[in-house]
Structure 1
Amino acid sequence: MIGNVLCLISLAFIFQYLIRIEDRTIKLPRVTDFEGIMAACGSILYAFEGQAMVLPLENKLKKPSQMVGTFGILSVGIAAVSVIFALCGFLGFTAFGNDVRGSITLNLPQDNIQFSLLRLALTLVIYLGFVIQLYVIVDMLWPALWKRLERRGGFCSSVNLKLPFELALRTFLLFIIMIFGIAVPNLEELIPLVGVTTGMLLAFLIPSLLDLLTWLPIRIKRREYKLATLLIIEDLIMVLIGLFGMIAGLQANLVNIFK
């Protein structure tokens, strides 16, 4: 809750600053090149794949049915994030043009106490929300890791050491994330690359192939050949879109990185 409040206050402060800057719309190109389009697609896919961070929390809700649906937590949350991202990108580009950085906070004045406090607030937002962001990874890794330790027996399988080992795993994951953050400071180059690779796989390729492998045998067994044909066509179209986006996006982003 505290993180959400700080985030909303910070966004309001950033937006009012961007709106007050001289509009450069007339000087900006109306359409970007192919590499720019694919980089944008990668960033958008990266943002939308963030929903995977909260989906496993559905089972922990008092009323899991409230997660999905037209006005469910996921739908409202993703819609709000989409509007905020689009607004931030649009206002940032109209304010700074091609000089806009990968994070809009890098374009803010560096020697102003107000903006220094704003960056501190956003740092607290990340700190307070990191527990939720790390929850899915720990929830996937820890049970399997503890089962292995229990099978091995001995000192490592002691129940008294379960919590220390889990904390050690969390600390190790934080250390890895910190190393990546230090090693790759230019996120504007990394985010589109991750988006067009893992994003395309998770959004287009893997779901389509799983859908095809799951339902095609059932349709054929029931002799529903028309539905089977329609299923093949739909899933193949999604696979082709995913392959095109992944290959073209990978090529475009690598060109931008090595420029």
Structure 2
Amino acid sequence: MIEKKEKSKNVEDYNPFEHRDVVKPNSDMRSLANLIKASLGSGLLAMPLAFANAGWGVGIVGTVIVAFVCGHCVHIFVETSRGCCRAERKPLLTYSETCGAAFANGPKCVRPFANFAHMFAEFSLCFTYLGVCCIFTLLIATSIKQLFDTYLSTPPIPVGQYCLFLLLPLCLMCQIRHLKWLAPFSLIANVLLFATFAICLYYIFREPLTVSDKQIVGDMSRLPAFLSTVIFAMEGIGVVMPVENTMKKPQHFLGCPSVMVIAMTLVMLLYIMLGVFGYLRYGEALRGTITLNLPMDAWPAICAKVFISITIFLTYPLHFFVVIDIFTRYVEPRVQKKYHNVMQICVRIFIVCFCGGIGIALPLLEQIINLVGALFYSILGLIIPGIVETVFRWEDLGKYNWILYKNILIVFCGMFSLVSGCTVTISDAIEMIHKQME
């Protein structure tokens, strides 16, 4: 008992914020811009389709619940990371390092799995954001193709070729190596996204909306597709730790009001607004993103399509940062220092080309969005935070072990979203491929 108290005292004595030495720290506003951009991207424009799957009534309630759960999972994961920093006496930990440290400082029976937890988190992060980069490449290419097919008299070019054309500018953009340098691009992207949002609202409200023919409760078999899209749209947990770790005042990240609370509240409100009214306007005709439903014969709609392409292009490096950060930590120590710069350039080009290749091979935008949301974001944003907090706080799970039961519910929701979402998405993809082959 005495040894346990002394250990607890040593943990509390260490303040990780005082020992952080960040080369280029971000202000609260820059951190807020990066966090909003991480959660508020192409997913915003996919929300009307999600509401079409669930019905507008279920969509509103479901989005609020998912936003609360996702925000709570971010909160408990950051709190756990800070607790692990104190236990390990380290100034900061990444997402995967937090998972490993939580197991290493948990009950004795799970400590041998610390390295596995670390590697599993790394694997999940890497493949999640590779999937996001594939989606972004395909989304930009689809928007550009729609414009070119309408306004150029040349024969239509397959979307895969537009993905190919995008590789060079994306390779150049991804040579930016510091989050601080990405913050201005995130700010520009946020402005353009809000402009696109405003244009979408203009087309939604320019004529009276009809509610009578829209479903309050949709087909329950499509609920997994709704959850997959909303989780994909809402989650940015892989970017959370890089943002929090590079803040000038990380103590402002959690709390109320805080960077995280402001970001999640704003994101939730915008998602509900566009989801409801976008569905009421276009109904079952909705496509992967609402900008693809806008008319092609008016300049505001054209601006919206151009803006969203630029927005996703500027956002791409922020999500790419997660992938390259994982790769650098494992490979750079094994490469001579004089080759580090060449290695960075070559690897960044290879990853961009790999993601572009996936987009060329499988140009199924809606299905890839749902698959990434169901499979990887359910793991990263729900299942892992619930398990990690439980393991780390095993000695103190609250009165009546309420933390344990709460996290069991979160993990169950994550597993339900994963299994059901993947099942529905794969079924949709197979059906679409068969239609294309007929």
Q: Report the TM-score, using the length of structure 2 for normalisation.
A: 0.51
2:199 counterpart of 1:27: no
Shift of 1:243: 2.6
- For 1:244, the equivalent position in structure 2 comes to 416
Give 1:229 shift.
5.0
Cα distance in 1 for residues equivalent to 2:284 and 2:428: 14
Deviations 1:124-180 (A, max 9, x none): 22222323222222222213211122xxxxxxx242x32222122222222222223
CA distance in 1, matches of 2:369, 2:197: 21
Q: Which amino acid aligns with 1:30?
A: I
Residue 428 of structure 2 is matched in structure 1 by: 256
Change (3 A) 1:229 1:122: closer
Q: Which residue does the alignment assign to 2:312?
A: 126
Q: CA deviation at 1:119?
A: 1.6
The 8 Å contact of residues 232 and 372 in structure 2, kept in 1 or not, is answered as yes
**In 2 relative to 1, CA 122–252 (structure 1 residues): closer, same or farther, beyond 3 Å?**
closer
* 1:6 matches 2:183: no
* 1:233 corresponds to 2:405: yes
Q: CA deviation at 1:31?
A: 1.3
Q: For 2:236, what is the secondary structure of its paired residue?
A: helix
Aligned 8 A contact 2:237 2:380 in 1 = no
- In the alignment, structure 1 residue 179 sits paired with structure 2 residue 357: yes
What is the rounded CA distance, in whole Å, between the counterparts of 1:121 and 1:256 in structure 2? Answer: 29
Contact 1:102 1:186 in 2 (8 A): no
Q: How many residues align?
A: 245
Change (3 A) 1:28 1:76: same
Give the C-alpha shift of residue 21 in structure 1: 3.5
Match of 1:153 in 2: none
Q: 2:341 aligns with which of 163, 176, 182?
A: 163
The Cα shift of 1:47 comes to 1.7
SS in 1 for 2:352: helix
In structure 2, how many angstroms separate the alpha carbons of the residues matched to 1:241 and 1:3? 32
**CA offset at residue 9 of structure 1?**
1.7
Uncovered stretches (5+) of structure 1, i.e. residues with no partner: 150-156
Deviates more, 1:74-83 or 1:231-240: 231-240
CA contact (8 A) 2:229 2:373 kept: yes
**Kept after mapping to 2: 8 A contact 1:35/1:256:** no
Q: Determine the structure 2 residue equivalent to 1:55.
A: 241
What percentage of aligned pairs have identical amino acids?
24
**Do the aligned partners of 2:199 and 2:300 also contact (CA within 8 Å) in 1?**
no
Match of 2:368 among 176, 190, 193: 190
* 1:231–1:51 Cα change, 3 Å: closer
> Which residue type is aligned with residue 101 of structure 1?
R
How far has the Cα of 1:258 moved from its partner? 3.5
Aligned to 1:110: 296
State the AA in 1 paired with 2:334: R
**How has the CA–CA distance of structure 1 residues 174 and 21 changed in structure 2, closer, same or farther, with 3 Å as cutoff?**
farther
Does the 8 Å CA contact 1:53/1:133 hold for their aligned counterparts? yes
Question: d(CA) in 2 for partners of 1:19 and 1:51?
Answer: 33
Q: Which residue is 2:386 aligned to?
A: 208
CA contact (8 A) 2:237 2:381 kept: no
Show structure 2 runs of 5+ residues with no match: 1-186, 432-438
Q: Shift of the alpha carbon at 1:232? A: 4.2
Query: What amino acid sits opposite 1:193 in the alignment?
Result: L
Q: Read off the aligned partner of 1:148 and give its amino acid letter.
A: R
**1:81 aligned counterpart, secondary structure:** helix
Change in Cα spacing, 1:90 to 1:232, as seen in structure 2 (3 Å) is closer
Amino acid across the alignment from 1:244 = F
Q: Structure 2: how far apart are the matches of 1:238 and 1:5? A: 34
Structure 1 residues 183 and 109 mapped into 2: Cα distance closer, same or farther (>3 Å)?
Answer: farther
Q: Secondary structure at the match of 1:27?
A: coil
Measure, in 2, the Cα distance between the counterparts of 1:51 and 1:66. Answer: 17
Displacement of 1:252 in angstroms is: 3.0
The root-mean-square deviation of aligned C-alpha atoms, in Å, is: 2.5
CA-to-aligned-CA distance 1:60-118 (integer Å, 9 cap, x gap): 22222222222322222222222222222212211111001111111011243442233
1:230 deviates by 4.5
Whole-angstrom CA distance in 1 between matches of 2:288 and 2:197:
16
The offset of 1:195, in angstroms, is 1.7
Kept after mapping to 2: 8 A contact 1:67/1:74: yes
Show the 5 A alignment for 1:71-110: 71-110=257-296
1 CA distance for matches of 2:240 and 2:321? 9
